[in-house]
Chain A
Amino acid sequence: MNHIISIRDLERPEIDCLLDKAALIQANQYNETALKGKILALLFFEPSTRTRMSFDAAMARLGGTSIGVDSVEASSMAKGETLADTVRVVSGYADAIVLRHPKEGAARLAGEFSSVPVINAGDGAGQHPSQTLLDLYTIRQSMPLDRIQVGLLGDLRYGRTAHSLAHALSRYDATLHTISPKGLELPSAIAEELGEDGTEIIEHDDVSRVISELDVLYVTRIQRERFPDSASYFKVASSYRITPELLTGVKERFIVLHPLPRLDEIDPRVDSLSHARYFEQSRNGIPVRMAMLQKVMS
């Protein structure tokens, strides 16, 4: 079965193929009826705006239809049904399932019970491969993916998008620069694993000291609930804020990415700079997800 559960399941040629396909789609070189007559089930057991809407839009642009549930309260899971049973039933209604679920490994389990392809749209603190693919795609719009210097900034302990991106970039010999508050560093198990894959990881405590070396800065949200009180949160958050002043002297091809939604991590004045690519990154979700849907349903 042609599931997409984790970016780690995809070899580099498969990733490159999906990104190439997304580029063709973005250049309007695609069949608008490629998925005509197909039905996509969107099973979202956690809140999501961007991911859900972009899968919905991607399916519509390929001529297909979407059905789905938006919350546990609106589903039979509220009656105690297992995910395994839900997926067995829904796979009889649709040609593919997109799943977001609060438990890690939920998409892997869904893949075991589904008779149609499953795409993981985020499972708890686990994997979110469509986000990683659109991150890679956005970087590749500005530079080749090979041997780039990538800064990962923010909550690297719980940030699943940063973990997935780090794993994906290890296939392209990237050097990773991690910049995170104390207690929110990249987990040592992930750092070790990346090291074993040959990825160089350099820790920094001040983004201003490394910013001029970077090709990409991937900013993630530092969540208020990780701190004991608001004062300590604001103190840390302000020292990790990206401002136009900070970006003085960066490389010409340097870009700033953020999986969104952002809070205070990026000063709105950065939005108008040529380096800011986070809204483009969000828009890239459509061609990338169109490419994914075509891959699993064709």
Chain B
Amino acid sequence: MRRDARGGLLISPIRNGTVIDHIAGGEALNVLKIIGITGATPESISVATNVKSSKIGIKDIVKIENRELRKEEVDRIALIAPHATISIIRNFEVYEKKGVEIPAFLIGVVRCPNPGCISNTNEPVPSKFEVLPKGLHCLYCEWMITKDITNHIL
């Protein structure tokens, strides 16, 4: 366990799992939401918010014990944390480190804001969005989400 100069606890290293670093300050909880981690999931989670960063000013950090995130899970993070770095930890060592890439399509990640869209009904389909430079394009009703993407995350 690490302690600061006055003996207070800092986030401890994890033995196995995933560390998501360089999340923009204040976005850590949205990152957890986008990868589907809620209070009901069994993983031990450590979250540090508004930590000073030489790279991005103020950053958030998330550590998830005993779960290695898959590529399609981490790429979703790029929507709200394009500078995030992902480290896979095995036995306290960084086994793998990677950035995030914005995926070409988002399936079942974002709810279409158009109340008239067929994807917002009881039909057996997930939402489907194409990721374009100017925003997210609903493949059903053709609406565009150009801002506040986190507000539409399922």
Contact = CB atoms under 8 A, between A and B. Distances in A.
Whether chains A and B associate is yes
A170 to B, nearest CB: 15
A105 B144 contact: no
Contacts, number: 53
A103 B146 CA distance: 22
A100 to B, nearest CB: 13
B125 A109 contact: yes
B80 interface: no
A106 B119 CA distance: 9
Contacts of B138: 105
Interface stretch (B7-15, B56-64, B110-118): B110-118
B140 interface: yes
Contact of A105 (B119, B124, B146): B119
B118 A83 contact: yes
B51 interface: no
Contacts of A123: 118
Interface string B113-142: 010111101111100000000000011111
Interface in B35-82: none
A203 interface: no
B132 to A, nearest CB: 10
A105 B118 contact: yes
A103 B118 contact: yes
A84 B118 CA distance: 11
A271 B32 CA distance: 63
Nearest to A102: B116
B125 A126 contact: no
B118 A6 contact: no
A126 B123 contact: no
A79 B94 CA distance: 56
A136 B117 CA distance: 27
Nearest to B139: A108
A189 interface: yes
Contacts of B139: 105, 108
B13 to A, nearest CB: 46
A123 B143 CA distance: 13
B142 A84 contact: no
A122 to B, nearest CB: 13
A124 B116 contact: yes
A82 B116 contact: no
Interface of A: 6, 8, 80, 82-84, 101-106, 108-109, 112, 123-127, 189
Interface of B: 114, 116-119, 121-125, 138-144, 146
- Give 7 nearest A-B pairs by CB, closest first: A105-B140, A104-B141, A105-B141, A105-B118, A103-B118, A106-B118, A104-B116
